[in-house]
Structure 1
Amino acid sequence: MKRIIKLMVLIIGTGVIGETRAQQNIQFTQYIFNSMSVNPAYTGYKEEWFGQLGLRSQWVGLAGAPRTGSLSIDGIADPINKRHGLGLQVIADKLGPQSATSAYANYAFRLRLNEEDTQRLSFGIGAGATQYSLDGAVLDPIEGSDQVIPAGKISNWVPDIRFGIYYYNPKWYAGVSVMDLLSGDQSNNIFRWDNTTTDNIRRKRHLYFIGGALFNLGKGLDFRPSLLIKEDFKGPTSLDLNAMFIFGQRFWLGAGWRTGVTVFEREYNRLSGNSLSGRNSFSAVTQIYVTNSLRIGYSYDYITSRLSNVQNGSHEVTLGVTLGPKAQRILSPRFF
């Protein structure tokens, strides 16, 4: 087991080496309710087939601001041993003239670590592709004859893979993953509309760490703190801190804080001596179980950066549905 873990960590470590000109990955405030979006090893964690729809409108009131939709489903393929998790995730994102639509199939191998089956160590892999598009007709150049801007809409498909490790027990969980493993390949330009264009638009390779715990504060009241660290080794390290109170295992209410922190010396610091602002946003988050099979989540992000003067925050809504009967009694509630 130790050799397997060391091997997987080595693969993740080598996966984050390399450079590419890129954009940041899509961010979701409500990843805390379904972490498959940041770690494929989470696939099948709930041990029942679960579908989720998510809609996010970022920086409301700002023209061309990001709008994102996501649809996912995951569960276990073998209800008795529960060793194999399967999942599918589709995400559509639009930012001004640029859009990206991706689809990933996930598989997780889930190792049982104790006789009571309250601890599992999962290794997950996701494979898929993203269609990147750029609509030149939406752009408004200063010079109408600018040859760098495409005349119409252009697009291209790019394959990719992701990998993760996830451990959980009834009291705490932790996971590490690397996303967009193939994005460091510079030989394939996504957009090339003339003989001189060499730029590309590509998501940057990211390393994620997630962790959290559960504390019982009394009858019918639990406290669930968690964190997400996102690293692309170019800009500031992104840190999400969240704290949720759970009432009667049905109503969740809490808050989050997203900021940038300085962990490594960056190239932009060495060249200019400047640092990017770490201020980002505060979030209010809630989730309610309408029935045992239906849950609804909502979050609002209040932006604290300089963008606060030109937009009205970000809204995110999720709808989660348990599909079909439970194959077997779940030994502990799925709070993670």
Structure 2
Amino acid sequence: MKKSLIYLFVLLCLGNKAQQTIMFTQYTFNKAGMNPAASGTDITKEIYYCVGLNRQWVGIDNSPNQSFLNVSYTIRPPRSYKRWQNVGVYFDNDNSGLIGSQGIYANYTIHYLIRKKLIASFGVFAGVRRYSRSTAGFDINDPAVAKTKTSLFLYPDIIPGVRLTDKKYFVGLSVRQISIYKLQDFKGRKIGSPSKLKPSVYMEYGRLMTLNDNLLMMPSLALNTPILGLPLIDLNVMFYYANRVGLGAGIRNTSFLSGIFQIRFLENMTAGLAYSYPINAARYAAQNSFEIMIGVVPMGMDAKLTGRHSIAKCPVLSY
């Protein structure tokens, strides 16, 4: 009972900072899920895939949890590598207390080599999103509850994005909830009064730095903010050793401190684990949050290294 009361207090205190779109600690690993323009930036990777899950405040009922699956295919031109395309599908699931949502999207991205090693990318997710509310804790005889749907399918959900990618840095921007802005469908059915969904902007920046023959460092920043709202700001720094292991740390606003571990276990696959500890009032109710991802080797673990411990790579065209 005491833990439940503390959790309720935390939710009330942090209500103004609640995220309306999914955010991951390992956002550079799940780059295409955060920005569709990041899908297929590496022309040498014909097939890209990544799967992951996130659990916040483990041990608390109805605590936030997210999961995703991303698969895409790069269409490489037969001769010139000045332009190439990428197509795929993306699925995500987001449950945050009484409200949950699931989305499935088709994605299309086109990449232009605008100068040596610099790529300009333009991408879009287009799909449908299902929103639902929990029936627990509500009086079904209440007229206000009776008028509210338990689930809705909202479409089209359009998420555009742009990105610049170089061997040493990336910078990108995407926008969500621009075609779906409230929990109400075309027939007037709604959840809530209806609840409004604020358009949100996702911005990212990262730079890869060589420390020695086998060690790379990549500081990065991700900002996820609703229009006219308080932003979620993630600051991460990763260290990659010999294309085999990644270690890092991150902080999100005044909410979480995170530790990140990534390991390459096959030629082209990596597993990542992030553990987050709350640094706000949530630590009195639940102290453990974690995130797991498995997918194609991320940026920072696929560089061309010269050290004696690095993984040997044949010469390839890689931007």
TM-score, normalised with respect to structure 2? 0.80
User: 1:135 is aligned with what amino acid?
Assistant: S
Shift of 1:321: 4.4
Shift of 1:293: 2.1
Mapping of 1:64-75 within 5 angstroms?
Answer: 64-75=62-73
CA, structure 1 residues 297+150, in 2 after alignment: closer, same or farther (shift >3 Å)?
farther
Secondary structure in structure 1 of the residue aligned to 2:27: helix
Show the counterpart of 2:145: 149
Match 1:184 to one of 181, 185, 191: 181
Structure 1: gaps of 5 or more residues: 1-21, 260-278, 323-327
Higher deviation after alignment, 151-160 or 42-51: 151-160
CA, structure 1 residues 330+179, in 2 after alignment: closer, same or farther (shift >3 Å)?
farther
Matched, 1:134 2:129: no
Match 1:220 to one of 204, 214, 218: 214
Structure 2: gaps of 5 or more residues: 1-17, 298-313
CA, structure 1 residues 169+251, in 2 after alignment: closer, same or farther (shift >3 Å)?
same
User: 2:263 is aligned with what amino acid?
Assistant: I
Shift of 1:95: 2.7
Show the counterpart of 2:88: 87
CA contact (8 A) 2:181 2:197 kept: no
CA, structure 1 residues 304+198, in 2 after alignment: closer, same or farther (shift >3 Å)?
closer
Shift of 1:147: 2.6
User: 1:109 is aligned with what amino acid?
Assistant: I
Shift of 1:66: 1.4
CA contact (8 A) 2:149 2:189 kept: no
CA contact (8 A) 1:189 1:198 kept: no
Q: Which whole-Å CA distance do the structure 2 matches of 1:256 and 1:198 have between them? A: 35
Matched, 1:307 2:282: yes
Secondary structure in structure 1 of the residue aligned to 2:40: coil
Show the counterpart of 1:293: 268
Shift of 1:107: 0.9
CA contact (8 A) 2:181 2:196 kept: no
Show the counterpart of 2:48: 50
Secondary structure in structure 2 of the residue aligned to 1:308: helix
Shift of 1:198: 6.0
Q: Which whole-Å CA distance do the structure 2 matches of 1:187 and 1:67 have between them? A: 24
CA contact (8 A) 2:182 2:194 kept: no
Secondary structure in structure 1 of the residue aligned to 2:26: helix
CA contact (8 A) 2:183 2:192 kept: no
Show the counterpart of 1:4: none
**Superposition CA RMSD, Å:** 2.6
Matched, 1:165 2:151: no
Q: Which whole-Å CA distance do the structure 1 matches of 2:104 and 2:192 have between them? A: 26
CA, structure 1 residues 126+313, in 2 after alignment: closer, same or farther (shift >3 Å)?
same
CA contact (8 A) 1:102 1:129 kept: yes
Secondary structure in structure 2 of the residue aligned to 1:183: coil
Q: How many residues align?
A: 280
CA, structure 1 residues 198+70, in 2 after alignment: closer, same or farther (shift >3 Å)?
closer
Mapping of 1:246-285 within 5 angstroms?
Answer: 246-259=240-253, 279-285=254-260
Matched, 1:331 2:317: yes
- Which deviations, in whole Å up to 9, do the C-alpha atoms of 1:249-298 show, x marking residues without a partner? 12110001111xxxxxxxxxxxxxxxxxxx21111111111011221000
CA, structure 1 residues 205+239, in 2 after alignment: closer, same or farther (shift >3 Å)?
same
Shift of 1:134: 1.7
Q: Which whole-Å CA distance do the structure 2 matches of 1:32 and 1:127 have between them? A: 22
Shift of 1:184: 3.0
Shift of 1:304: 1.0
Secondary structure in structure 1 of the residue aligned to 2:252: strand
Shift of 1:96: 3.2
User: 1:305 is aligned with what amino acid?
Assistant: N
Matched, 1:108 2:109: yes
TM-score, normalised with respect to structure 1? 0.76
Instruction: Give the fraction of aligned pairs with identical amino acids, expressed as a percent.
Output: 29
Shift of 1:52: 1.1
Show the counterpart of 1:210: 204
User: 1:284 is aligned with what amino acid?
Assistant: G
User: 1:307 is aligned with what amino acid?
Assistant: A
User: 1:172 is aligned with what amino acid?
Assistant: Y
Q: Which whole-Å CA distance do the structure 1 matches of 2:93 and 2:100 have between them? A: 8
